[in-house]
Amino acid sequence: MRIERRNPLVCLMVVHFFSIANLNLWAREAPHIQMQNGVGQLIVDGRPFLILGGELGNSSAGRAAEADAIVPKVARLHGNTILMPVAEQIEAKEGNFDFSILDHWIEVARQNNVHLVLLWVGSWKNGFSSYAPAW
């Protein structure tokens, strides 16, 4: 999906809407922490959820082909969640937003029954500003 920048607020609202629509959250309860006897439990789809996951390297999510290799491996290891940094691939050129790589990751994750946790990165990542786009 490509979005030309017109108004940053409108772009954020569109991204938020499509994120919710793509996750079918209209029909499901949002993930939340349930407290019981002073202990918190993550609840996903109405059931307790234990994250068995891993984190991608800084640039591992930069290409769609990486999803085809990484996500099935996580699933075969019985992992259920991947922490995925998202940054420079979304707006590589100023004002042009391209969500196609992220869309592919979401599609492959769904096919493999793996959750994605997006680490949305701006110009700073790991304490360095070297991830700011060239523009």
**Whole-prediction pTM value?**
0.69
In-domain check, residue 126: no
Residue 42 belongs to what domain range?
2-120
Extract the tokens encoding 1: 């999906």
70, amino acid identity: I
CATH number at residue 41: 3.20.20.80
Q: Report yes or no: 133 and 122 within 8 Å, Cβ to Cβ.
A: no
Query: In the block, which residue shows the tokens 């019985």?
Result: 78
Flag whether 8 is in a domain: yes
Asked, for residue 34, whether it belongs to a domain, the answer is: yes
Give the tens place of pLDDT for each residue, 21-55: 455 545 678 889 999 999 999 999 999 999 999 88
Report the first-to-last Cα separation within the chain, whole angstroms: 21
Q: Can you give the pLDDT at residue 87?
A: 72
Flag whether 109 is in a domain: yes
The number of distinct structural domains making up the chain is: 1
Q: Is 70 helix (H, G, I), strand (E, B) or coil?
A: helix
* Residue 94 domain-assigned (yes or no): yes
Between CA 69 and CA 113 the distance in angstroms is 15
The answer to whether position 128 is within a domain reads: no
pLDDT tens-digit series, residues 98-124:
999 999 999 999 999 999 998 876 656
